[in-house]
Amino acid sequence: MNKKPVVAGIGELLWDVLPTGKQLGGAPGNFAFHAMQAGCEGVVISAIGRDKPGDEINKVLQHLAVNLKYIQQNNFPTSTVTVSLDEKGQPDFTIHENVAWDHIQLNDSIIRLSKKLDAVCFGSLAQRNTDSETTIQTILSRLKPGCLRVFDINLRQQYFSKEIILKSLKQSDILKLNDSELPVIADYFGIAGDIESQLYQLLQSFKMKYVIYTMGQKGSIVISPDSTSVMKAPQVQVADTVGAGDAFTGIFVAGLLYGYPLSEIHKKATDVAAYVCTQKGATPSVKGKIY
């Protein structure tokens, strides 16, 4: 690929309020940032409020060199999420409702962008409100042939349903989920067997290219129609795990777009995710070239 692939994260954009202070958060922004670190052009499609926290998000994203063109401002408050950490650095999120990213509006510039994208990442959380759900589903329907559609499921609190998940899986080339999310999905769709069997059933049922399953410190599994890659996670000193999964997804997608072998992609994604766990916040800079 001669030009930089263009990738977008669609959905929530917010401040994670941690015990140590606030950090930029939201899976779509984290994904776009890490894909950008791996050589892509990263775009965020979201909404912030016309308020001080929204202005502060813009400043941070400018500093990170993320494209701000598709971040809307509206009259709803900029989102904040209260994050508490357990003794292993695992986060628990308290997400507030009726915030700016619940009301992402489709417009001509987003429609034009959708036809240029090489990959797009979306989740279930940002589809909790009809406004943003409609926008996300419309974008997915307007993508050019060959654009990778990545469903990073991100089940949070009560903000998901079988209907939304089913609709999203039908639109997806890649599913990413973790060890707490698989039992929910297996129950929804009547999937049984060992973990690899469940992942393969999901892959086949929805005709996907990859299913990515992360297990925190235990590592991850990537299933494709013709291969399985299993990788342990490096043992690191954990500061917090916020954003590690998003880093994994961003690095993984960038590797696919640049045509690297699955084994190398899986290793790079694992190593960067582990590095993110050693840092505070979801968007630390990675030294050196990733690919």
- Residues in the chain predicted with pLDDT less than 50, given as ranges, are none
Residue 206 structure tokens: 């929805």
Residue 128 DSSP code: S
Whole-angstrom Cα distance, residue 83 to residue 269?
24
Whole-angstrom Cα distance, residue 112 to residue 35?
21
Q: Where are the domains of the chain?
A: 6-277
8 Å CB contact between 122 and 11: yes
- Beta-bridge mates of residue 47: 72
Region at 216 (left for phi over 0; alpha for psi -120 to 50; beta for the rest): left
**Domain 6-277 class in CATH:** alpha beta
pTM recorded for the entire structure:
0.93
**For residue range 191-249, what is the model confidence (pLDDT) as tens digits?**
999 999 999 999 999 999 999 999 988 999 999 999 999 999 999 998 878 889 999 99
What pLDDT does residue 89 have? 65
The DSSP-derived string for 225-288 is TTEEEEEPPPP---S--TTHHHHHHHHHHHHHHTT--HHHHHHHHHHHHHHHHTSSSS-PPPPS
8 Å CB contact between 248 and 270: yes
- Bridge-based pairing state of the strands 21-25 and 79-85: unpaired
DSSP H helical ranges for the chain: 27-37, 52-63, 108-114, 130-142, 162-170, 182-189, 195-205, 244-257, 262-277
Whole-angstrom Cα distance, residue 290 to residue 287?
8
**Cβ partners under 8 Å of residue 39, min gap 6:** 4, 5, 254, 258, 289, 290, 291
What pLDDT does residue 20 have? 75
